[in-house]
């Protein structure tokens, strides 16, 4: 499954695990829990209750026996936030080895109209720009990125190393990485990054991750969303 995010980004599912001996999605979580009694997976008609019990009572380690690897294309400022989640493993494109793609995140007019510095939340944005002002800001941002790109390409053409030429690149430059985590830690990531207090752009990525988690781990995801509704 691959989901488009923002103007040039995506989240793509690469690999998932947690099938256990039963070879059924999420059964590995139950099998891990049953290690205490040396029991096996008994089928979802019986074991959904156990899954819900563990989730509700925060018996979380069995949820570490399922997991997911994704590939993400996102602006560098998103990766700055994302990489704070230390319980995921990462490998990212290197701008020392590879020329960066000519891809910059330019916010939509709607996002820019809601992009005034918030008067209430020091970390946030609020409505306030007219459509005409937003269009002007968008045009200006595109030109600034174009100028940065021109400088980058000029330095490379002159023979400057990639590791130095990248210094003029802004943080809305797209990069690419793979991220791997167990299900427990994906849910922790989603809890923080789906929250309205998280920046709009990383929330769009969290929504895509949530859709993938829902498709692969529907039972655990429904417990997670049920839990969120009860917050």
Catalytic positions, please?
Answer: 193
Give the integer Cα–Cα distance in Å for 162 and 153. Answer: 10
Return the residue of 35, 142, 197, 215 that touches ligand FAD, per CB under 6 A. 197
Q: Report the residue number whose CB is nearest to ligand FAD.
A: 86
84 is a site residue for ligand FAD (CB under 6 A) = yes
Q: Which stretch binds ligand FAD (CB under 6 A): 79-87, 99-107, 155-163, 222-230?
A: 79-87
Q: Specify the residue for token string 């074991």.
A: 47
Binding residue for ligand FAD (CB under 6 A) from 170, 192, 207, 219?
A: 192
Q: Is 188 in the site for ligand FAD (CB under 6 A)?
A: yes
**Torsion over CA of 151, 153, 154 and 159, rounded to 10 degrees?**
130
Q: Which helix (H) or strand (E) holds 208?
A: helix 200-216
Residue 203 is a binding residue for ligand FAD (CB under 6 A): no
Among 23, 57, 58, 86, binds ligand FAD (CB under 6 A): 86
Rg (CA), the chain: 21
Cβ–Cβ under 8 Å, residues 164 and 155: yes
Among 87, 89, 91, 215, binds ligand FAD (CB under 6 A): 87
Is 205:9 a contact under the CB 8 Å cutoff? yes
191 binds ligand FAD (CB under 6 A): no
State in angstroms the smallest separation of the CB of 227 from ligand FAD.
16
Burial class (CB in 10 A: 0-12, 13-18, 19+), 109: middle
Q: Which residues bind ligand FAD (CB under 6 A)?
A: 84-87, 185, 188, 192, 197-198
């Amino acid at each position: 499954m691959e989901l488009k995010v923002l103007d040039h980004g995506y989240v793509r599912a690469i690999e998932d695990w947690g099938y256990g001996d039963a070879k059924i999605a999420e059964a590995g979580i139950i099998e891990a829990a049953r290690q205490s009694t040396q029991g096996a997976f008994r089928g979802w008609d019986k074991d959904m209750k156990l899954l819900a019990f563990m989730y509700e009572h925060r018996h979380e380690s069995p949820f570490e026996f399922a997991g997911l690897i994704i590939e993400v294309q996102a602006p560098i400022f998103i990766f700055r936030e994302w990489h704070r989640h230390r319980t995921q493993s990462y490998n990212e494109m290197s701008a020392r080895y590879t020329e960066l793609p000519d891809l910059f995140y330019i916010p939509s007019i709607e996002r820019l109209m809601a992009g005034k510095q918030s008067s209430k939340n020091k970390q946030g944005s609020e409505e306030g720009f007219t459509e005409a002002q937003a269009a002007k800001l968008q045009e200006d941002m595109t030109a600034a990125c174009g100028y940065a790109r021109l400088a980058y390409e000029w330095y490379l053409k002159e023979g400057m190393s990639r590791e130095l030429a990248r210094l003029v690149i802004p943080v809305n430059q797209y990069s690419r990485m793979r991220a791997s985590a167990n299900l427990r830690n994906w849910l922790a990531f989603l809890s923080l990054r789906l929250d309205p207090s998280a920046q709009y752009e990383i929330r769009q990525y969290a929504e895509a991750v949530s859709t993938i988690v829902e498709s692969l781990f529907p039972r655990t995801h429904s417990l997670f969303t049920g839990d969120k509704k009860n917050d």
